[in-house]
Amino acid sequence: MELFISIFVATIVAATPLVFAALGELVVEKSGVLNLGIEGMMLVGAAFGVWAHFAGLSMPVALLTAVLSGAVVSLLFGVLALTFMTNQYAAGLALAIFGTGVSAFVGRGFGSTPVEAIQPLHFPVLSDIPVIGPMLFQFDPLVYFSFVMFALVTWFLYRTKAGLALRAIGESPDSAHAIGYPVIKIRYLAVMFGGAMAGLGGAYLSLVYTPLWVENMTAGRGWISLALVVFAAWRPLRVMIGAWLFGGMTILQLQGQAMGVSVPSEVLSALPYLATIVVLVLISQNRKAMALDFPVSLAQPFRPRG
């Protein structure tokens, strides 16, 4: 039971950076834009979060710095993809490379200095309930915030007029433009939201999860977040489920390494990546489910006429 609880808790925590980044990308893709640069934006968020922390700023301000840095760096992609109408694949890759470089530059000198991580909360009474207490009421605030963001994103996309506009733009920017929606402006906002969320996901890694700055510390989580959005067939709840699955995979392989399973550690480390491939293959089989919520205009440049 102890082991089960600890694996459960660790899974939710490991999934949290993926939840942030993938929910952000979900909104971006729903607006018809494909930003491949999540890995770079996460790293930028992680590095600026640590930088702000060591600059003596309080934890909330450090997180805010990470969020802002993610949003700002996403604008580089936004300008290219939306204003200059470049190939979105190439612009996203440029952001991934650029973000990796910027983060390594900003984070230099902070390597291996541990961060005073954000501590788990302790609710009176609730946290002390056996089993349920440790499983539900002893997380750090950001884990709860990731659930809040999930609820907000779902509500926004499916229950608000702005969300409807965003989805309409993702389906058919020309029609949306004809009705009078500001396509480019809404796409810019979506891209910045995606950047902010990726920045937060990165900061979660460097300020809570690890918690210290290591070059390239995201280790492919940005790309896995992209895969999660595909896996989720562009639906928020499935993004969450996917993130937990991958979180669980990460934790199981770490557990396996800790328990000294007689397989090389590299085999275990490769599991999350291989699982991503397997899951992608399985989900791509169901073309109908994939097409249902797929934003039709994804990755196609849009230029308003007239």
Partner 1 sequence: MLFKVEARQEPSRKMALAAPLIATGLTVVISSLFFLSLGLNPFVTLYTFFVQPLTTMNGISEWLLKASPLILIACGLAVAFRANVWNIGAEGQLIMGAIAAAGVGLFSPFQESIFLLPLMVVCGMLAGAAWAAIPAFLKARMNTNEILVTLMLTYVATLILSYLVHGPWRDPDGFNFPQTALLPYAGMFEVFDYSYRLNTSIFFTVVAVILAWLFMERSFLGYKMAVGGVAPAAARFAGFKSSSSIWVGLLVSGATAGLAGMTEVSGPLGQLSSQISPGYGFAAIIVAFIGRLNAFGIVLGGLLLSLLYLGGETVQLSLGLPSSIALIFQGMLLFFLLASNFLINFRIRAIAVRAH
The residue behind tokens 């599991």 is 271
The residue behind tokens 């499983």 is 135
Q: Please, which residues have CB within 8 angstroms of residue 274's CB and are 6 or more apart in sequence? A: none
Q: Please, which residues have CB within 8 angstroms of residue 219's CB and are 6 or more apart in sequence? A: none
Shorter beta-carbon distance to partner 1: residue 89 or 155: 89
Q: How far is the CB of 303 from partner 1 (least distance, A)?
A: 8
Q: How far is the CB of 55 from partner 1 (least distance, A)?
A: 17
Task: Output helix, strand, coil percentages for the chain, rounded to the nearest 5.
Answer: 75, 0, 25
The residue behind tokens 């710095």 is 65
Structure tokens at 49: 């979060």
Shorter beta-carbon distance to partner 1: residue 116 or 266: 266
Shorter beta-carbon distance to partner 1: residue 58 or 83: 83
Nearest Cα residue to 95 out of 21, 158, 150, 40: 40
Q: How far is the CB of 286 from partner 1 (least distance, A)?
A: 10
Shorter beta-carbon distance to partner 1: residue 60 or 220: 220
Q: How far is the CB of 4 from partner 1 (least distance, A)?
A: 28
Amino acid at 243: A
Shorter beta-carbon distance to partner 1: residue 112 or 124: 112
Shorter beta-carbon distance to partner 1: residue 98 or 147: 98
Shorter beta-carbon distance to partner 1: residue 147 or 273: 273
Shorter beta-carbon distance to partner 1: residue 143 or 224: 224
Rounded to the nearest angstrom, the gap between the alpha carbon of residue 130 and the centroid of all alpha carbons in its chain is: 32
Nearest Cα residue to 304 out of 181, 167, 162: 181
Q: How far is the CB of 209 from partner 1 (least distance, A)?
A: 18
Q: How far is the CB of 37 from partner 1 (least distance, A)?
A: 9
User: Half-sphere exposure of residue 202, counting CA atoms within 13 Å on the CB side?
Assistant: 44
Q: How far is the CB of 185 from partner 1 (least distance, A)?
A: 16
In the complex, which residues of this chain contact partner 1 (CB under 8 A)?
Answer: 36, 40, 76, 79-80, 84-87, 89-91, 93-95, 97-102, 104-105, 108, 215, 219-220, 223-224, 226-227, 230, 264, 266-267, 269-270, 273-274, 276-277, 280-281, 284-285, 287, 303
Cα separation, 150 vs 168, in Å, equals 21
Neighbours of 305 (CB within 10 A): 7
Q: How far is the CB of 223 from partner 1 (least distance, A)?
A: 5
User: Half-sphere exposure of residue 55, counting CA atoms within 13 Å on the CB side?
Assistant: 13
